[in-house]
Structure 1
Amino acid sequence: MLFYAHLSTTNQDLDAQTDALTAAGAERSFSERMSGAMAERPELDKMLDQPPAHCKENCRL
């Protein structure tokens, strides 16, 4: 399981969310802190480029 978190302010904290998702089985996390007005989200793009766990070859989300 993968997860993505986007924070738009510096006073927001990922720790509780990350801990809960890791406990639920998340294998990898992608997160970024930037304005919600930004159209480009490099970490989201990285996550979407990951093949699903059940995929053996030539798979994409």
Structure 2
Amino acid sequence: MQLLSERELRGVLAHEIAHIKNRDILVSTIAAAFASGSTWVAHAVSFAGMLGGQSDEEARAIA
């Protein structure tokens, strides 16, 4: 805040409030949440496949 003049600070605040008013941030937040969720699921499936799978011998014994 010390780097900006009062007029510049008002301009920055007005710009950010316009984002809130136009719901730009809401759309970005929802998109980021979906991306994070899908990434988490992909990692969980990947680790489950590496650590929780059956070996070939176990699979043959069951079949």
Quick check: which one's helix share is greater? 2
Larger Rg: 1 or 2? 2
Q: Higher relative CO (CA 8 A, sep ≥ 6), structure 1 or 2?
A: 1
Same fold (TM over 0.5): no
TM-score w.r.t. the length of structure 2 is 0.25
